[in-house]
Structure 1
Amino acid sequence: MNARSALGRYGETLAARRLTETGLAVLERNWRAGRSGEIDIVARDGDVLVVCEVKTRRDGSFEHPMSAVTPEKAERLRALAQRWIQAHGGAPPGGVRIDLVGVVLPRRGAPVVEHVRGVA
């Protein structure tokens, strides 16, 4: 595993922990839909299915993690959510929400984990 993928995995672990702490149930991590892409975290928030994109950056990086979900990325996440629903027996009663968890790793001190609901 290279340093970049290790950084991403660490960020996803912190994100999953944050989601669980705030009452979401993590159903799956790194769900792949063939060549279509990957959902970092699939969770449930009550009766809502949550597709969660995780972006991890080191402090001082060029782009803040919260600016990483472009309209194209949001559309890809919506399509992946539909694929997940088809593969797992249909849509939940509460619908689907796309969230973003941004993780910033400072040079010193604790990581900053920010969860934004309904980004797309």
Structure 2
Amino acid sequence: MPTPENSRPDHRAALGAFGERVAVRALADAGLLVLDRNWRCRDGELDLVARDGDALVFCEVKTRTGTGFGHAVEAVTPAKRRRLRLLARSWLAAHDHHAPDLRFDVVGVHVPRSGPVRVTHLRNAF
């Protein structure tokens, strides 16, 4: 029988997958076209890559159930930003997409125990 300790990664993965689905819907509702989801290479993973008019958007999704450790969008640290820039270069090298503008967005998804899910979309987050 699973214990809370070893069921937690499954819960976190399910929460993250849910948050990404919510983020995709929010981005689409805002007029962005999602080009790629969960793209992986040896250096890590990009959550979402989208097009917003002339901009190619690399989007990090952070999902939280509470704010005890701060808002979800605050979890994108300087080290994470560096990694996302590296991953964006790798994605561009692997794909034939060109855009005059590149942008890094963060989507925070707050899933409270009760009440509606709240989405915060920070354009040009860094």
Q: TM-score, normalised by structure 1?
A: 0.92
Q: Distance in 1 between matches of 2:93 and 2:83?
A: 15
The one of 6, 12, 30 equivalent to 2:20 is 12
**1:59-108, Cα deviation, whole Å (9 max, x unpaired):** 24423201111111111111111111110125422x21000000111111
**What 5-or-longer segments of structure 1 have no aligned partner?**
none
1:107 aligned residue: 113
**1:32-85, Cα deviation, whole Å (9 max, x unpaired):** 012x01000000001111000000000244232011111111111111111111
The one of 6, 28, 31 equivalent to 2:36 is 28
2:52 aligned residue: 45
Tell me which stretches of 4 or more aligned residues in structure 1 moved more than 4 Å. none
TM alignment of 1:55-70, pairs within 5 A:
55-70=62-77
The share of aligned pairs that are identical, in percent, is 52
Give the aligned CA root-mean-square deviation in angstroms. 1.3
Q: Distance in 2 between matches of 1:29 and 1:103?
A: 16
Q: Which residue type is aligned with residue 114 of structure 1?
A: T
**What 5-or-longer segments of structure 2 have no aligned partner?**
1-8
